[in-house]
């Protein structure tokens, strides 16, 4: 631990006149002593890389600004040391830019609130005053930790900077406990109820499906704008379509948000991953199965790691729609390979030649808020909610789910992060209700003939159907609903859907489960083709026949090509199990 408490003077800091951005690899050449432009990466908003060192204090006197100069020079030197020092692990420019803003914030506080002239004048009483300010600001604990860490660096790096604090504010093991006393617990991302999630997804899919008429109107609006100019296009548009151009803009924003919601809901990608999707990759996806991208949060590299996510036809429609909506901006903005751009009628005023054609987080949030409002959802919709909903629906759909597959699909580095997603306290507030609703729906479809379910459960369903017919002459939906409600309540029935079929489980059927390992309860980790296809609790409908055909074909490939006898035998049994299920629907196929 460093113990040198010598007081250093401001003259050891490099003055503005000697500032040379060319010597700092992490700054753009257009930077100057008053405004720094950190070199951007390919996945963060450009505004995140700009740090303005001039305080916005209109009411301050000239002497106040004169006092700021040595503080600014100290803060800038501290930033340079942080990226170069062996005592820190800051390697990315986005991280360094964040540190720079926090350092500026702390120095502004000491300079203008405490009226100190230099870092060497800071005493413990000033640190205590700063802590009071933090507490009143109601910051999250993580934000407080960052600020206190910056204050500690002002002591730890004092020799490399040339000056700094004369004391260590927070000794080892004391910083986080102090931050917890000063900050508030951060709120976790809201978990969307399944009903709301599917409501949002249904609306998004509907908007994407019927977007053509609005695309044609947008195309015409752009033509009118080019013909008569920006100031007269609204008048001519209304004259031609008998509606305000503002109505057009609103519908296009909702349609654009719908397309993005569809992509995020079907792929569970992070917001930053969507932000760096390439236009060229999106075009290729229209002809392929997977949507390729780049994930940075868990990559630990500047370049990120390559991702591939399967995209169904509904997702491809949304992707095509995004390409259509952004083509107008893409024509005028050269060299833009990003998929998500601003809409052609969204104005962007930007100084310093900062590219503002790409879709910023603030604009994306406004699009989502307008979409949620139009869908009558009374909470602020955020991209990460869709990712959490995907994980929650996955585990709800498969009861315990395949966490290994889900973890890989979400590109988590550890199952720990996946379990945080799926083991959400909010889920247990509505999971039983949703499971009962889904179970009742499946039974109702089976009893009313809307869904032909074969497999081991068919005999039980037939028995229940006969019981209903014995009690009433005409089987109506209302009667079915009452019977199902009583049956679910009495036997605690749950219908658990899987890709290959349904598992019908109740308090009396657990011991019959072929996957059971204790003879009393099902063990879903033991699910496989053999146990499921021969289980009395298993049901399969016509919609899942294609899935079993794909299974059969996959086994057949191994059977035809493998030279390993164990693999051949296993593949042969797999073909037999799949054919057994497919044969249940031979009259249909």
Do the domain assignments include residue 173? yes
Question: Looking at 396, 422, 448, which one is the last position of a domain?
Answer: 422
Question: From CA 270, how far away is CA 305, in angstroms rounded?
Answer: 13
Same domain, 409 and 493: no
Domain that holds residue 454: 427-542
Task: Give domain status of residue 571, yes or no.
Answer: no
Question: In a structure prediction context, what are the per-residue pLDDT tens digits for the chain, which is 589 residues long?
Answer: 333 333 333 334 445 656 788 889 999 999 998 999 999 876 676 778 899 998 865 445 555 677 888 999 999 999 999 998 888 888 888 889 999 999 999 999 999 888 898 999 999 999 999 999 999 888 888 899 999 999 999 999 999 999 999 999 999 889 999 999 998 876 666 777 777 887 888 899 999 999 999 999 999 999 999 999 888 999 999 999 999 999 999 999 999 999 999 998 888 788 878 888 888 888 888 888 788 777 666 555 555 667 777 788 888 999 999 999 999 888 876 557 888 888 987 655 444 444 567 788 888 999 999 999 999 988 889 988 888 777 776 655 544 344 555 566 555 555 555 554 554 445 545 555 556 666 777 777 777 777 788 888 888 888 887 777 766 665 567 777 777 777 777 778 888 777 788 888 888 888 888 888 888 888 877 778 888 888 998 988 888 888 889 889 999 999 999 888 989 999 999 999 999 989 988 764 4
Q: Identify the pLDDT of residue 418.
A: 54
* C-alpha to C-alpha distance for 397 and 497, rounded to whole angstroms: 6
Q: How many residues does the chain have?
A: 589
Q: Is 569 inside a domain boundary?
A: no
Query: How many domains does the chain fold into?
Result: 3
Residues 234 and 375 in one domain: yes
The answer to whether 558 touches 568, Cβ cutoff 8 Å, is: yes
Give yes or no: residues 345 and 262 share one domain. Answer: yes
In a domain, 551, yes or no: no
487 CB contacts (<8 Å, ≥6 apart)? 443, 464, 493
Tell me which H or E stretch contains 310.
Answer: strand 305-310
* HSE toward the beta carbon, residue 85, CA cutoff 13 A: 19
Q: Read off the pTM.
A: 0.57
Residues sharing a CB contact under 8 Å with residue 511, sequence separation 6 or more, in sequence order: 519, 520, 521
**267 and 403 share one domain:** yes
Given a contact cutoff of 8 angstroms between Cβ atoms, the answer to whether 117 and 70 are in contact is yes
Contact 396, 434 (CB under 8 A): yes
228 and 292 inside one domain = yes
- The answer as to whether 14 is a domain residue is yes
Query: Residue 63 has what pLDDT?
Result: 56
Sole residue written with tokens 């980790």: 525
Q: Which CATH number covers residue 299?
A: 1.10.443
Contact (Cβ atoms closer than 8 angstroms) between residue 148 and residue 130 = no
State the pLDDT at residue 322: 95
> Is 433 found in the same domain as 342?
no
Give 359's contacts (C-beta < 8 A, 6+ positions apart).
275, 340, 341, 342
* Residues 244 and 334 reside in one and the same domain: yes
Phi, psi of 257 (to 5 degrees): -60, -40
Same domain, 304 and 349: yes
129 belongs to a structural domain: yes
Please say whether the beta carbons of 387 and 264 come within 8 A: yes
Q: Within this chain, do residues 132 and 16 fall inside the same structural domain, yes or no?
A: yes
Instruction: Round the CA-based radius of gyration of the chain to a whole number and report it.
Output: 31
Q: Are residues 372 and 405 in the same domain?
A: yes
On whether both 319 and 406 belong to a single domain, the answer is yes
User: Is the same domain home to 360 and 387?
Assistant: yes
Is residue 144 in a domain? yes
Among the listed residues 478, 482, 468, 573, the one whose alpha carbon sits nearest the alpha carbon of residue 528? 573
Would you say residue 587 lies in a domain?
no
In degrees, rounded to 5, the angle at the alpha carbon of residue 213 between the alpha carbons of residues 212 and 218 is: 95
Burial of 496 (0-12, 13-18, 19+ CB in 10 A): buried
DSSP 408-443: HHTT-SSHHHHHHHHS-TTHHHHHHHHHHHHHHHHH
From 422, 444, 472, the end of a domain falls on 422
What pLDDT is stored for residue 494 in this prediction? 80
Domain boundary among 182, 205, 227: 182
């Amino acid at each position: 631990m460093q113990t040198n408490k010598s007081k250093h003077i401001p003259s050891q800091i490099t003055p503005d006149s000697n500032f040379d951005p060319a010597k700092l690899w992490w700054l753009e050449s257009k930077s100057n002593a008053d405004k720094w432009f950190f070199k951007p990466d390919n996945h963060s908003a450009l505004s995140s890389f700009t740090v303005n060192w001039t305080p916005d204090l209109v009411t301050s006197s000239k002497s106040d600004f004169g006092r700021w100069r040595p503080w600014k020079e100290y803060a800038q030197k501290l930033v340079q040391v942080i990226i170069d020092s062996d005592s820190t692990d800051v390697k990315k420019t986005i991280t360094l830019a964040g540190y720079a803003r926090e350092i500026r914030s702390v120095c502004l506080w000491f300079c203008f609130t405490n009226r100190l002239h230099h870092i060497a004048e800071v005493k413990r009483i000033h640190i205590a005053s700063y802590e009071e300010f933090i507490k009143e600001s109601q910051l999250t604990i993580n934000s407080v930790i960052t600020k206190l860490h910056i204050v500690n660096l002002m002591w730890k790096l004092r020799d490399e900077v040339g000056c700094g604090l004369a004391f260590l504010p927070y000794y080892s093991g004391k910083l986080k406990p102090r931050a917890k006393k000063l900050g508030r617990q951060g709120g976790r991302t809201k978990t969307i109820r399944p009903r709301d999630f599917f409501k949002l997804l249904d609306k998004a899919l509907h908007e994407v499906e019927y977007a053509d008429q609005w695309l044609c109107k947008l195309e015409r609006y752009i033509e009118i704008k080019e013909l008569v100019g920006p100031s007269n296009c609204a008048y001519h548009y209304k004259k031609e379509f008998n509606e305000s151009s503002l109505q057009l803009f609103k519908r296009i924003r909702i349609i654009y948000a719908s397309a993005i919601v569809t992509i995020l809901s079907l792929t569970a990608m992070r917001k930053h991953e969507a932000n760096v999707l390439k236009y060229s990759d999106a075009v290729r996806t229209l002809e392929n199965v997977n949507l390729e991208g780049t994930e940075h949060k868990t990559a630990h590299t500047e370049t990120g790691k390559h991702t591939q996510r399967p995209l169904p036809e509904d997702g491809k429609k949304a992707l095509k729609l995004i390409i259509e909506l952004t083509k107008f901006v893409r024509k005028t903005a050269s060299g833009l390979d990003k998929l998500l751009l601003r809409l052609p009628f969204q104005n962007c005023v930007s100084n310093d030649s900062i590219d503002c054609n790409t879709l910023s987080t603030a604009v994306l949030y406004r699009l989502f808020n307008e979409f949620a409002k139009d869908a009558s959802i009374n909470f602020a919709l955020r991209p990460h909610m869709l990712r959490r909903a995907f994980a929650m629906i996955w585990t709800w759909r498969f009861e315990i789910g395949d966490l290994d597959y889900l973890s890989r699909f979400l590109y988590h580095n550890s199952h720990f992060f996946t379990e945080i997603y799926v083991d959400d306290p909010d889920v247990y507030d509505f999971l039983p209700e949703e499971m009962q609703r889904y179970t009742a729906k499946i039974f109702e479809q089976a009893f009313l003939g809307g869904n032909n379910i074969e497999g081991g459960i068919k005999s039980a369903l037939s028995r229940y159907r006969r019981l209903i017919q014995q009690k009433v002459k005409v089987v109506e939906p209302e009667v079915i609903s009452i019977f199902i409600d009583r049956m679910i309540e009495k036997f605690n029935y749950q219908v658990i859907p899987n890709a290959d079929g349904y598992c019908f489980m109740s308090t009396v059927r657990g011991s019959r489960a072929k996957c059971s390992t204790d003879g009393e309860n099902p063990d879903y980790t033991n699910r496989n083709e053999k146990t499921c296809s021969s289980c009395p609790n298993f049901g399969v409908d016509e919609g899942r026949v294609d899935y079993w055909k794909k299974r059969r074909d996959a086994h057949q490939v191994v059977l035809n090509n493998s030279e390993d006898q164990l693999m051949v035998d296993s593949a042969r049994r797999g073909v037999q199990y799949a054919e057994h299920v497919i044969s249940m629907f031979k009259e249909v196929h």
